[in-house]
Amino acid sequence: MPHSLLLICRIYLLFTIASPLWALSVEDISKATASLDHARLLAADEEPGNWLSHGRTYQEQRYSLLDQINDKNVADLGLAWYFDVEGNRGLEASPIVIDGVMFSTGVWSVVYAHDALTGELLWQYDPKVPRHWGKMACCDVVNRGVAVWKGKVFSATLDGRLIALDARNGNKLWETMTLDHPLDPKYPYTITGAPRVIKGKVIIGNGGADFGVRGYLSAYDANSGEQLWRFYTVPGDPEKGFESEAIARAAKTWNGQWWEYGGGGTVWDSMVYDPELNLLYFGTGNGSPWNRDIRSPGGGDNLYISSIVAINPDNGKYVWHFQEVPQENFDYTATQHIIIADIELGGELKKVLLHAPKNGFFFVIDRLSGKLLSAEPYVEVNWASHYDLQTGRPVETPKASYQKNGASLIKPSSMGAHNWQPMAYNPDTGLVYIPAMESSFLYDAQDQDSYRHEPGHWNLGVKELQTPPGDQLFGKVLAKKISSGHLSAWDPVLQKERWRVQYQDPWNGGVLTTAGNLVFQGTFDGRFIAYRADTGEHLWKMPVQTSVMAPPVTFTVKGEQYITVLVGRGGAYGLGSGTEFVSIPKHSRILTFKLGGDINLPPIAIEDEYADPPPRLDVSAEVVMQGEKLFHTYCYGCHGFNVVSNKAVPDLRRLPRHFHDAFKNIVYDGDLSALGMVGFSDVLSEAEVEAIHAYIIERAHEDKAAREQSPWWLALKTKVYAFFADILIWLMSYY
């Protein structure tokens, strides 16, 4: 062979070996996403290798037809690739995967596009959410994902913007503000939910009911961002008129001057579209404030809070509603995942909605009419005895009226029997898999005359979060006693549980089920697990080093099946529960698995974050108690119950000395607002800030003392505390 030809061959081989066997180009991404339209979404089952929309199909069953990974071989599952996202806070997104391209979101509404085969980052878009607006997020600076349509990626930001990005490169195509009063603390709206696209309309709601806003759902033109319609979920000020007949009718179910408190009813998560009936169903949030006597003195059902509402997506016109909790009183939102299914009831095939909301009852609802077909508790419930199928209303117990009958320990708690983490429905087994929780909360009404509405802060109308007596170890033991979680395989026809997997902690991840007779779920304690869908048999698990909240998705690339889940600790319980979690990696992650995957996660580097606390402040015990109350009114949502942090945000018990020296400047003056730690001078005096500081320092000293205790003494105290916790729970059950 001539020398020149040999050289050419060697160069060719070098580049062939060095280049990847699979590489996505801009043209590949364009081809994959440009054709994603209404017809393709309607026919999503014809391409099961893709995950085209939030719940895979418009029905949002989170059931995949893929069975390459199945109950016979899932034990061979391993990690194929991982990607560290920015930050170490909660991840909740469902990725969209189209022909090998994956789109997902992280904290602060950042959007990512990845090569789904290799994990290579294709592009990233940061909408630059102002960090101070994180204070308005009741439940962390999370985001649940994007929607894709005709070459565009749609994402909603924490501060209320809806953004269209070019799917090829992440360049912004248009941006529209969905809020009437952007970044106005008097109107503390946030968006954490994923948009949906229906026939060229991008649909998005918002959150903020705990702070005092009026809920609504809006549609925007996918090409221009122009608002096309808006459906308000609760009435506004009657003197300004009502936007529709539906809202005028709803106003008759309210009393007092509810509009001054916002009303609530925010549409912050669940939406599902029925193309056969051309109906969009969505769940609405709690009343604002929670306390119905303050919100609507004199009674009334307070439509359309805690309801499922059906509207025409073409124009936003009301069709029907079903209110799950009339005059809601407990933060029992109906925003949890809604599933469309056809099931046989009484020998007749019914078109239904399946719903397991916060209130603890599993609902089967006729999706043509909104009629309640059945409702049974899927966890222990004591606020209502049952639902009257003739009226469709719950029969409340005396505990429900805590304003009249005094403080009541109510089940489920405001955290709910099921929160935002999606459930799944497998038509092969006929079961719904629910990430369920058992929890209690002591509801104690704030006096109506003493209630003070504070714009931009929690406005619940119930007394501040009650803290248990004793030291923080007792608080931890008690928390473990009154809250736990489980995966429930629920039969929606018989309204009974078929099998259950019990977990020590609540706040476990969303669910995926497949034709391979599998159910996948991540856990709060950092495991990703596969079960047999028909029996619940444990088949496989992998430790993932941090909590899992997000639901998994599955797809194929080049004929091979993969499973992806986002991992990262956060959300309402993850931040505020007061549960320590030391094994948090430097970054939250996207994890992708396949059969035979052999990638290992890097070892966890646990840094010594302990700092000796400063001397206790020279204040009275009463001031420390005042600080405890104020902390659990304004601070615990981010910094944790009893000042026990999950380390996604600073652990205030272990602050370096210079933070204590600057405490007033930070907490009162807001010197760190640009980093997300805003000042509280609008609601706290300097003396009250000092009281909070005194309480935090007290907790810091308790924490140091606990760390210095011998293991045997700590174990003995834990057993003793467990005994007294059982007695306290028994006594509280009589409230």
Residues taking part in catalysis? 331
Q: How far apart are CA 640 and CA 647, in angstroms?
A: 10
Tell me the three state secondary structure of residue 146. coil
State the first-to-last Cα distance of the chain, in angstroms, to the nearest integer: 94
Judge residue 450's burial from the number of C-beta atoms within 10 Å of its C-beta, 0-12 exposed, 13-18 middle, 19 or more buried.
Answer: exposed
| Contact assessment for residue 576 and residue 640, using Cβ atoms and an 8 Å cutoff | yes
Buried b (16+ CB within 10 A) or exposed e, 220-240: bebeebeebbebbbbbbeeee
* 3 state SS of 637: helix
Mind spelling out the 3-state secondary structure of 15-66? HHHHCCCCCCCHHHHHHHHHCCCHHHHHCHHHCCCCECCCCCCCCCCCEECC
DSSP state, residue 241: -
CB 355 within 8 A of CB 308: yes
Helices (H), 259-388: 292-295
SS3 519: strand
Q: How far apart are CA 486 and CA 440, in angstroms?
A: 15
147-149: strand order across its sheet? 147-149, 152-156, 161-166, 172-177
DSSP state of 508: P
SS3 string, 602-615, reads CCCCCCCCCCCCCC
CA separation for the pair 356, 336 (Å, rounded): 7
Cβ count near 200 (within 10 Å): 15
Secondary structure (3-state) at 632: helix
